[in-house]
Structure 1
């Protein structure tokens, strides 16, 4: 999931009239405003879809509903990558590379590391004690708690269990089956960072479109191509997820040229469904830009409470839901039925997600923004020649500081 970065403040569509062709398609158009949009709410919904879908698996009831042999949780992850592609491409195109990297690392790593520590030293000991009647051997039983944290700290999840826990659950040996996607999301961040170092990619969406076509083709050809990479799982997963990220990035680069309208969104969904139906494997990836368009249109028109717009708890929901589900499954809550099991998970995860946002995520992002902003007096800015201090910003006001969490 992208997993799950906060709302990027990116430029909206260029001002002025749409081109004639775009204007003709602009019936019922909606603006994806850089701040006043429903993307935070949409990402929260997608995180909850992942949570609910895992409810089937972690309670021993299979994969849950499927579309094209893919469960709803994976479709939600695709949606995360599409939104992330749009926002992160905008971030890269409007920020220096160093600032971009600092902001991206600040968004992903701190909350991720805290979740690893909480899993290893809070969730796992409780489960170990409950099953074994004590903590003897907990610190030295493979996978040891320290090794769980250290081995997974680089985002690429190498171990899912802690001291053999969770056990006595329908899905044993895994504390966080959601975190795997964060590694690939960060790889997408690095890929778009590298591509946008090339002037051609920054100036013309055609190059990004060609990159998308190449990756989508690789995904379809993976059964043939995999032996040449020794069946490298990173190549397989990246080819599966990167098209959605690039699809969102392509929509960003075409902003102002293609309006967000409900007829186009509906058409995009219909065409996507046809592509998925007619393509034998990889149809969703081929249709990724169309799916990204429909998702972003929904983000433009979805009413979003101001509280959710200012506080993005979707990342916390995404990373804490799975360990919460496994912990309460250890106590047999899954036997109550999937509805109460999922409802209790949502309540407990919500508390942890809010705490993660208020205590870890927002303060770290504010700090990251502060250290990447050069503060100079307003008078100096006013006296400077236009454009000569393009990368220098005035000292932030109180209002600016309050908005900092949405500008990383």
Structure 2
């Protein structure tokens, strides 16, 4: 699935390019730009993978892996923003770095205010100011807060034995989440909370993936079902203007899983998952290029240059931060297995030997493989 996730991250970069270059809003589908649909795909795949992780791990182990996968790279991104991107912006605007550390929003305030994933400040020392989309160094990071809230929701419900035994609870939770979002105009005047509305928008996609995970023991991956899921997704989105995407969330998850099982993927991408780094560094790279006027050379040049620069940072994030942290977590788990079974050679679970974006999806990778190998009739 690394290729699919990288493609979704690239779609987010493409969608953001129009806003950041001051070239309008770009292509939309049913009132949502392509980046928004890519985020929906991320949440659907994440729901599938993360639910598999929760079902096969204790709460403590699950949370350790979730934090290790998402948080260190996020902190590193904040640090790179105040150490590289924002100083370049400040120097470009003022001709000097004097006052950079004391100008509102100060660099340290930027880090501290955003420390717990919820983005409260997007500018650093009044930068970037001389770009078409001023005042934001990283508008993509907002979704990580809601991603982690979904992790916590699955952490809670995954501890209930009935949820582990039967897909029915997750199916009911998914239906409830869709109904909640469909009736959001009724509840929002009472709550008037942006966090609630965004979570209500994204949670159905996550739970849609969770439903597919819960049903994966009985449903295999087959081309006819995969194509049917893609067609069903299009029908739902076309027929239901406001919440058709949420209604189609299980179909989106299944369709992406099927595509990932048949899509050719270079070995480098299968082994090295740079999609997360690509997602979190695309916006600041695009802002930096806009700062120096690259967007004025045409959208094609701007998009390709942004993608190339972002890929370099994504590789650095994977090599220097993400992979070392996940390897440390794996060594920790392998050491605990060795202590629990003295005298035996510790057997690292197969899923831990992969460089999956979710860190340690336990039976998820194996489950997907089995689903893909299931007889055609189970599809």
The TM-score, its normalising length taken from structure 1, stands at 0.84
How much does 1:273 deviate? 2.1
Q: Which one of the candidate residues 60, 74, 88 is aligned to 1:98?
A: 60
Which residue of 2 is the match for residue 88 of structure 1?
A: 50
**Match among 346, 350, 353 for residue 394 of structure 1:** 346
Q: Cα offset for 1:52?
A: 1.1
Measure how far apart 1:380 and its partner are. Answer: 4.2
SS at 2:209's partner residue? helix
The CA deviation at 1:375 is 3.7
Q: Distance in 2 between matches of 1:315 and 1:287?
A: 24
**Alpha-carbon offset, residue 381 of structure 1:** 6.6
Aligned equivalents of 1:347, 1:188: Cα separation in 2: 31
The 1:270–1:138 alpha-carbon spacing in structure 2 relative to 1, beyond 3 Å, is same
User: C-alpha displacement at 1:341, in angstroms?
Assistant: 0.6
Give structure 1 stretches of 5+ with no counterpart. Answer: 1-38, 383-392
Partner residue, 1:125: 87
Q: Deviations over 1:8-27 (max 9, x none)?
A: xxxxxxxxxxxxxxxxxxxx
Question: Deviations 1:120-159 (Å, cap 9, x if unpaired)?
Answer: 1210011110111111221111111000011101000000
Report the RMSD for the aligned CA atoms in angstroms.
Answer: 1.9
Structure 1 CA distance for aligned equivalents of residues 199 and 228 of structure 2 = 28
Per the alignment, residue 2 of structure 2 pairs with: 40
Could you tell me which residue of structure 2 aligns to residue 73 of structure 1? Answer: 35
Per the TM alignment, residue 282 of structure 1 is displaced from its structure 2 partner at its CA by 1.0
Shift in Å at residue 379 of structure 1?
7.6
Match of 2:223 among 255, 258, 262: 262
The SS at the match of 1:265 is: helix
Query: Could you tell me which residue of structure 2 aligns to residue 290 of structure 1?
Result: 251
2:113 equivalent to 1:161: no
Please tell me whether residue 321 in structure 1 is matched to residue 282 in structure 2. Answer: yes
In 2, the alpha carbon distance for the partners of 1:284 and 1:404 equals: 31
Q: Verify the 8 A CA contact 1:369 1:404 in the aligned structure 2.
A: no
Partner of 2:70: 108
Deviation at 1:40, TM superposition (A): 0.5
Cα distance in structure 2, aligned partners of 1:308 and 1:129? 36
Which structure has greater helix proportion? 2
Give SS of 1:323's match: helix
Alpha-carbon distance between aligned partners in 2 of 1:329 and 1:379, rounded to the nearest angstrom:
56
Residue in structure 2 matching 1:221, options 172, 183, 191: 183
Q: 1 CA distance for matches of 2:87 and 2:169?
A: 50
Residue number in structure 1 paired with 2:25: 63
Cα contact 2:138–2:284 (8 A) shared by 1: yes
Question: How big is the shift at 1:251?
Answer: 0.6
Confirm or deny: 8 A CA contact 2:110 2:121 kept in the other structure.
yes
- Rounded to whole Å, the distance in 2 between the matches of 1:277 and 1:167 is 39
Compute the displacement of 1:280 (Å): 3.6
